[in-house]
Amino acid sequence: MQITIDKNSGYCFGVEFAIKMAEDEMENQDTLYCLGDIVHNDMEVKRLREKGLVVIDREQLQELSNCKVLIRAHGEPPETYKLAIENNIELIDASCPVVLKLQHRVKNAFDKMERENGQIVIYGKKGHAEVIGLTGQTLEKAIVVMEDADLEKIDYQRPVTLFSQTTKSTKGFYALSEKIEKRIKEAKGELNELDFNSNDSICRQVSNREPQLQRFAQENDVILFVSGKKSSNGKALYQVCLAENPRSYFIENELEVEQDWFQKADKVGICGATSTPMWLMEQVQSYVLGLEIEELQD
């Protein structure tokens, strides 16, 4: 059995940067608070918890003062920064530069739409940390859409500016954009440049992984896709693998691997989401190699 770990899988720059900042801070103190899971991977969250990272929610943040709190790569709405000032909280801001740039673009577009009686629409998962940060730039007026049913929230007689959560599927974004454009044409009878402004704001480090994973899934007989179950990016990229290779399996760690997925002559590919640590994929590789040894001894 040949086992290969996808060299393009693993942490994106933003997640890697946030974890490095957390580890650097914890070298000098026993406890560091983090607003939400630093990454959507329970195994990595557990590892960092053992180093002193304490995950808190927004309600708990309101009770804190005179301490340090890490802002993860997903970014935060303006209210979080305001609260930090009021409670004398030092923020260790590890917001991804790509997310910060998108927040700025959304804020500018929102100010323009307010003047023109328009709407900001965000393709993303409602309640996702990054989306909360984006809607916070719009005084919570942005319309969050992910499925066709969500399109009913949009007023197609008014101008629409569309953005995307940075980790969504490129294919999904353009499909949604076409549907909105079609509905505006149906509502108005025509479409001019002031009616609809579609902005592909998906992170290129994320979107480039789709064609890379397509090739990787085709090159291997079995795909083990390693990701936290809460990762939106993981769910989307797993579907890319599954579309190319029906013997693709979504696992959170090596304990979910089943021996009957493999045959001795298989080429096995291990890959993961932008929130999947390399050490976890290597752990899965070692486990599967152990299964192969057991098979050869039978």
Catalytic residues: 130
C-alpha dihedral, 71 to 38 to 17 to 43, nearest 10°? 170
State how far the Cα of 195 lies from the Cα of 183, in Å rounded to an integer.
11
Q: Kindly compute the dihedral angle of the four CA atoms of residues 127, 129, 133, 135, in this order, to the nearest 10 degrees.
A: -20
Closest listed residue to residue 176, CA positions, set 147, 211, 196: 147
**DSSP string of 121-146?**
EEES-TT-HHHHHHHGGGTT-PEEE-
Distance between CA 180 and CA 191 in Å, rounded? 11
- Residue 225: which of 14, 38, 41 has the closest Cα? 41
Residue 104, classified by CB atoms within 10 Å of its CB into exposed (0-12), middle (13-18) or buried (19+), is: exposed
What angle is formed at CA 79 by the lines to CA 168 and CA 99, rounded to 5 degrees? 30
3-class DSSP assignment, residue 90: strand
Using alpha carbons, select from 166, 159, 201, 153 the residue that is nearest to residue 181: 159
Q: Which residues are registered as beta bridge partners of 34?
A: 55, 70
